[in-house]
Amino acid sequence: MADFKLTYATMFNPPDELHAGFDKAVETLKKNMGKEYGMLIDGKEVKADEKFDDHSPVNTDWALAKMQKGGAKHAQEAMAAARKAFPGWSRTPWQKRVELLRKAASLIEERIFELGAAMALEVGKNRMESLGDVQETADLIYYSCYQMEKNDGYIVEMGKDPLVGYEARNVSVLRPYGVWLVVSPFNFPHALTGGPSGAALVTGNTLVIKPATDTAWIVRLLVDCFRDAGIPDGVVNFVTGPGSTLGQALVDSPEVDGVTFTGSFDVGMKMYQDFSKGRYVRPVILELGGKNPAIVSRNADLERATIGIVRSAFGLQGQKCSAASRVLVEESVYDELVSRLKEAAEKLAVGDPTEKATYNGPVINKSSYNDFKNFCEEISQGGGKFLTGGNVKTGGMYDKGYYCENTLVTDLPYSHRLWKHEMFLPIATIGKVKNLDEAMKIANDVNYGLTAGFYGSLEETDWFFDKIEAGVTYANRPQGATTGAWPGFQPFGGWKGSGSSGKNAGGHYYLPLYMHEQIRTLIK
Ligand code: NAP
Ligand code: MG
């Protein structure tokens, strides 16, 4: 395993040790399921009066953990703890913060199998995607540490004013805002909690973390890594409970100095509006949904296009913000690509995501499962045809969880609302276009602008990169048409309705979002 570096692009050919480590962790975990976990506030385990049982979408008989149903009172306590810890943490030399965060990242790596196994059970991600999410988290944290060092703590000596009789010194420093709120989604529970948390912490902010209710357990296991690394009490606080009550109380708290929210457009936009009701403008980093196109030219390598599109449409059951949910194909290669896509999609094994052969596990919960059925019905009514899929899976183990067929749709009129709506399920619509200009027009005609993929000639790729409205773009990539970004390689973020900051996580410009500038002029 020494030469193997796990990323979403390399995960298709892992060494055997990776499988062995994962299998062992699943076995151990299954014997220890159902424990109760507290919230973590000011370094203390905090219990709420109400609890909730966290069941696995793989098999709903499996109770993974008992979690706390926190409320407004816990929101307030967590904010107060983060506020109290801020002076100490923000004045800790940045080099020391880097050291502690590197320690946390290395603990995450040490626990990769345990965390990956829990992720597969709680999210329903296949094993390589689960291990990938854990490794990505460590790499995002390492990347923030690297940026802090590379920029020398963001302390910059400015020019001296041309004064006569005085000597001026001007220093620009970037300083943390204060208490930072991180609200994360279910689909990448580690990377999208740990990534923003790492950035907020290394820059000197203190934290309140609120995970998605569907993935409260696995995020608690991540928070344990921050605690075990020796990050002081109160610097990282963790609360669990419904978004509509606990989450809303956090957003409405006057104690929050900045927020990073990753999740759906509707919840994010509401948060943006609610957050703006504070006494003054505070930073909001929103990472929202996508409706990502893959464009295929007549000059494309159809084998690459097929494999890349199928991976991106159906990886994690289509529940990636970066999923390829729209496929736009030039007329002359349409029939051939469509038949290849059907064949490739039908080969994907749907089942228990902890098993080696499985590509697709279940979708996250009953409500997504019902959405799948409703969308398929709507597609049928709207004139769409199922090239493959279109039903939920039934019989045997499938009846225990939320399994859906990988679904490719053709002939749905471009005027249908589902060409623009993020379904967040294993459903992709395929459309024929007369030429690439038509494809680009359709591709950009949505509110979203997260990721996009293209397959065509080298000359055409220049045109694609120039015209496409998206923050993460790929050309001719079999590893994934629109998915599989990795920190340090493909910084990740969206344009338009897909993101608010215009600066991508795991990239050059990300850390400064967590700090405000102070210019220090001193006349000697
Ligand atoms: P979601 O339903 O929007 O929930 C996201 C988080 O917000 C959860 O922790 C949720 O808690 C919380 N929440 C809900 N209502 C809230 C409120 N009123 N105040 C504060 N917090 C609230 O999203 P999801 O279903 O977990 O994730 C899927 C979505 O995330 C998709 O749209 C996907 O495209 C997007 N996503 C974007 C990116 C990106 O980088 N751009 C990455 C991954 C996912 P509860 O679970 O308790 O409701
Ligand atoms: Mg669950």
Q: Write down the domain spans for the chain.
A: 17-53+64-288+502-523, 292-485
The number of residues in the chain equals 524
Is-contact 314 372, C-beta < 8 A? Answer: no
pLDDT at 420: 98
The predicted pLDDT at position 13 comes to: 86
What average pLDDT score do residues 370-388 get?
Answer: 98
Q: At residue 498, does pLDDT exceed 80? A: yes
CA distance 358 to 257: 43
| Mean pLDDT to the nearest integer, 434-454 | 98
DSSP string, 440-478: HHHHHSSSEESEEEEES-HHHHHHHHHH---SEEEES-T
Tell me the two tokens of residue 38: 């507290």
Query: What Rg value do the Cα atoms of the chain yield, rounded?
Result: 23
**Mean pLDDT score of the chain:** 97
The per-residue DSSP string of 304-341 comes to HHHHHHHHHHHGGGG-STT-EEEEEEEHHHHHHHHHHH
Q: What number is the average pLDDT over the span 428-450?
A: 98
- Determine which residue's CA is closest to atom 22 belonging to ligand 1: 243
Here the tokens at position 376 are 């398929």
Digit-coded pLDDT (tens) for 54-94? 999 999 999 999 999 999 999 999 999 999 999 999 999 99
Confidence band for 342, pLDDT divided at 50, 70 and 90: very high
Does 188 contact ligand 1 (Cβ within 6 A)?
yes
Is the separation of the CB atoms in 449 and 476 below 8 Å? no
Closest CA to 421 of 325, 328, 493: 325
Model confidence pLDDT, tens digit, residues 207-238: 999 999 999 999 999 999 999 999 999 999 99
For position 429, what pLDDT does the model report? 98
What is the arithmetic mean of pLDDT over 344-366?
98
Looking at the predicted structure, is the pLDDT value of residue 275 above 90?
yes
CA-to-CA dists, residue 323 to 95, 144, 228, 422, angstroms: 38, 26, 34, 10
First-to-final CA distance of the chain: 58
**Quick one: pLDDT at residue 2?**
64
Task: Give ∠ CA 434-457-431 in degrees, rounded to 5.
Answer: 30
Would you give the distance in Å from CA 141 to the centre of its chain? 14
CA 8 – CA 131 distance, rounded (Å)? 10
Lateral strand order in the sheet of 51-55? 35-36, 63-68, 51-55
Q: Which helix (H) or strand (E) holds 155?
A: strand 155-157
Spatial neighbors of 262 by CB under 8 A, at least 6 apart, are 183, 184, 185, 188, 192, 196, 286, 287, 288, 321
Q: Taking 80 as the threshold, does the pLDDT of residue 348 lie above it?
A: yes
Would the pTM of this model clear 0.95, i.e. be above it? yes
CATH hierarchy code of domain 292-485: 3.40.309.10
Closest ligand, as measured to the CA of 195: 1
Asked whether residue 511 carries a pLDDT value surpassing 80, the answer given is yes
Residue 246 scores a pLDDT above 70: yes
Task: Tell which atom from ligand 1 comes closest to the C-alpha of 499.
Answer: 41
Backbone conformation region of residue 402, classed left if phi is above 0, alpha if psi is from -120 to 50, else beta: beta
Taking the C-alpha atoms of residue 393 and residue 507, their distance in angstroms, rounded to an integer, is 40
Q: What is the pLDDT of residue 161?
A: 94
CA–CA separation, 469 vs 130, rounded Å?
A: 30
Share of the chain above pLDDT 70, in %: 100
State mean pLDDT over 285-301.
98
CA of 186 to the centre of ligand 1 (A): 7
The pLDDT value recorded for residue 125 is: 97
Ligand at shortest distance from the CA of 124: 2
| pLDDT at 167 > cutoff 70 | yes
Mutate to test the pocket of ligand 1, among 50, 187, 472 (most ligand atoms within 8 A of CB): 187
Q: Is there an atom of ligand 1 within 6 Å of 8 CB? A: no
Q: Which fold has domain 17-53+64-288+502-523?
A: Aldehyde Dehydrogenase; Chain A, domain 1 (3.40.605)
Distance 262 CA to ligand 1 centre (A): 6
**The predicted structure's pLDDT at residue 1:** 61
Q: Residue 367: nearest ligand to its CA?
A: 1
Q: 104 alpha carbon to ligand 1 midpoint, in Å?
A: 25
Same fold, 17-53+64-288+502-523 and 292-485: no
Confidence of residue 3 (pLDDT cuts 50, 70, 90): confident
Average pLDDT score over residue span 36-61: 98
| pLDDT score, position 239 | 98
Neighbours of 165 (CB within 10 A): 4
Q: Which atom of ligand 1 is nearest to the CA of 364?
A: 25
